Structure 1
Amino acid sequence: MLLRFPTSVSEAQECLAEESVPIGGATLVWATWQRDGFPQHAMSLRDLPEANVVGHELLGGAVVLNRIDERLPDVLRLAAATIGTGAVRRTATVGGNIVGSALRCLLPAALVLDARARILEADGVHETDLAEVTAKRPLLLSLHWRAPVASAYRKLPGAPGGPPPLVVASALHADPAPDAGGGRLLRVAVRDGYDVLVGSAECAADTDTAEVLHVLRRQHFGDLPADARTAIGDQVSGLLSHPAD
């Protein structure tokens, strides 16, 4: 197997044109390759600057999970901290988790941030939404978003050998419009099994928590189990207590 480490977008495009397989941290594909055989060409984005950024509103696809720290919203930091063991988090990448993994533990966090993706294809760099990323599994360069007022994340305990544990992620966003009058938008995502449900509710600074929960449950999350609804209620109550500014 020829493994390449492109240092520019144009060089990474050349690798794609040669049908090089992206490996990320190789935590998901190595066992399969050992069983079924290694590809002829592969590439890692660990030396590509555009895929290694970490900032307040930006996260590269080649960033390993243990680099997700206080520079990023709580919902992303807490999500990354629950994935695998310390050894896994030192190797597994953001792109591998969102694009390559069936569990996609970071996806609920990215969805409540309303993140957009920059992807690399043979004809260049494009921006798209997370729905296209999860459906088509392109090469993820980075995610970007508008910083929330506050965010939260919880992974509920799961049974050994059972379905993936429930995940609840949420983020409170300020309305960017100058005449919004303090309006805010609450986004909630729940991973139930392998499915991710997303809902949102508009709320003012003085909106009652029970009213927001009623909207979320009636329109989006009414069929979830009780422990998931309780986790949503706890997060919504905590986020709505943040000041409007």
Structure 2
Amino acid sequence: MQLRLPSSIAEAQRCLAEGAVPIGGATLVWAGWQRDGFPEQAVSLRNLPEAGVVGPEELGGAVLLHRVDATVPEVLHRAASGVGTGAVRRAATVGGNIVGSTLRCLLPAALVLDARATVLDPDGVYDTDLSELLAKRHVLVALRWRTPLASGYRKVEGAAGGPPPLVVAAAVHAEGPASGAPDAPARLRVAVRDGYEVLSESTPYDADAGAEQVLDALAGTDLAGLPATARDAVRAEVTDVLARAAAA
């Protein structure tokens, strides 16, 4: 197998056009390739500058999970630091986790940040939303978002050998000009990974209304269908994030 390491967008496009298979950190595909056979060509974005950024409002798809530090919002930092073992985090990439993994440990954090994805295909680079990223399994160059007022992440320990542990992510986003729409209200976004499914909802947030009103609004969404333990975790995380947003 030839591993190609493009250092420019144009070179990466050529690799994809010539049939190279995106490899990410190879933590998920290697065993399958050993079983089923290796492709003739694979491509990694680890030498592509746009895919290696770590900043307050952007994160490259080729960034290794152990490099996702407190530069990014808390929800994303904690999600990355909770993936697997240290050895896994030193090999797995952001793009591989979100696009190539059934666990999608970083997806709830990306959803509550209302992140946009810069993706690459043989025809070029463009921005899209997370739903298209997942549906079409694009090559992720980078995620970008607006800095939230506050965010949080809760991972409930699961049984060994059982389904993936419950994850709750939440973030409060500012109102007005910071949102890009002068009349837009502040919003709370919540995402829950329950088993292999990820649910996300949002609701307007008024700091003067209190947590109970916001929780009542969430009770009218699909989150109400979660098991009682998951609803309790949502309540606890939302209450904490709202308190920190009010103090921001």
TM-score range, shorter chain: over 0.9
Match of 2:92 in 1: 92
Q: Which residue in the other structure is 1:9 paired with?
A: 9
- Which residue matches 1:185? 187
- Report the CA distance between 1:17 and its aligned residue: 0.7
Q: How does 1:33-48 map to 2 (within 5 A)?
A: 33-48=33-48
- Residue 243 (str. 1) matches residue 246 (str. 2): yes
Task: Tell me whether 1:126 sits opposite 2:131 in the alignment.
Answer: no
What is the CA RMSD across the aligned residues, in angstroms?
Answer: 1.4
> For residue 209 of structure 2, what is the amino acid of its counterpart?
T
Q: 1:234 matched to which residue of 2?
A: 236
Match of 1:154 in 2: 154
User: How far apart are the structure 1 equivalents of 2:176 and 2:87?
Assistant: 40
Secondary structure at the counterpart of residue 199 of structure 1: strand
Paired residue type of 1:144: R
Corresponding letter in the other structure for 2:110: A
- 208-217 or 95-104: which moved more? 208-217
Percentage of matched positions with identical amino acids: 61
Distance 1:43 1:213 in 2: 45
Structure 2: how far apart are the matches of 1:58 and 1:212? 28
In 1: Cα distance, 2:209 partner to 2:114 partner: 22
Letter in 2 for 1:218: G
State the TM-score, normalizing by the size of structure 2: 0.95
Per-residue Cα deviation, 1:160-206 (whole angstroms, up to 9, x for no partner): 2221111100001101337559x421000001111111111112121
| Letter in structure 2 aligned against 1:169 | A
Distance in structure 2 (CA, Å) of the matches to 1:76 and 1:100 = 18
Q: Give the AA of the match of 1:226.
A: A
- Residue pair 1:174, 1:244 contacting (<8 A) in 2 also: no
Q: Which residue of 2 aligns with 1:171?
A: 171
Match of 1:207 in 2: 209
Contact 1:118 1:126 in 2 (8 A): yes
State the AA in 2 paired with 1:233: R
In structure 2, the partner of 1:139 is: 139
Give me the whole-angstrom Cα distance separating, in 2, the residues matched to 1:193 and 1:238. 23
Q: Distance in 2 between matches of 1:180 and 1:18?
A: 47
Letter in 2 for 1:225: P
Aligned amino acid, residue 173 of structure 2: H
For 1:222, what is the secondary structure of its paired residue? helix
Contact kept? 1:115, 1:129, Cα under 8 Å = yes
- AA at the equivalent of 1:84: G
Gaps of 5+ in 1: none
Q: Which moved more, 1:224-233 or 1:5-14?
A: 224-233
Q: Shift in Å at residue 131 of structure 1?
A: 0.3
Could you state the TM-score of these two structures normalised by the residue count of structure 1?
A: 0.96
**Which AA in structure 2 matches 1:134?**
L
Deviation readout 1:206-225 (Å, 9 max, x if unpaired): 11211111110222311111
Aligned counterparts of 2:18 and 2:48: Cα–Cα separation in 1: 18
Superposed CA offset, 1:77-120 (max 9, x none): 10011101000000100000000000100000000000000000
Note the alpha carbon deviations across 1:110-138, whole angstroms, 9 max, x for none.
00000000000111001100001111101
